[in-house]
Amino acid sequence: DLESSASQAPDELAAELDYFRGLLERIMRIVRSGDPARVAHLISIIRANPSDTDIYALLNNDPASND
């Protein structure tokens, strides 16, 4: 939400940006791995609409996202 982002302290905002950058980088590693089963699994996870924290936790258990 734009209003809550504007009211965050710069350090908090930077930490949040780092978190989401890391999340995106992990997702992209899986997509770039070229493994159709892994990509399909990632998409099914995302379509289930879990929280960002849940997605991050699941990605921590995927070897392709931790290379």
Q: Which residue has the tokens 């997702």?
A: 27
* Residue 2 scores a pLDDT above 80: no
Half-sphere exposure of 34 (CA within 13 A, CB side): 0
Question: Model pTM?
Answer: 0.68
What's the rounded Cα separation, in Å, for the pair 65 and 62? 6
* Residue 5 scores a pLDDT above 80: no
Q: How many residues does the chain have?
A: 67
pLDDT tens per residue, range 30-65: 999 888 998 998 899 899 999 988 888 888 887 666
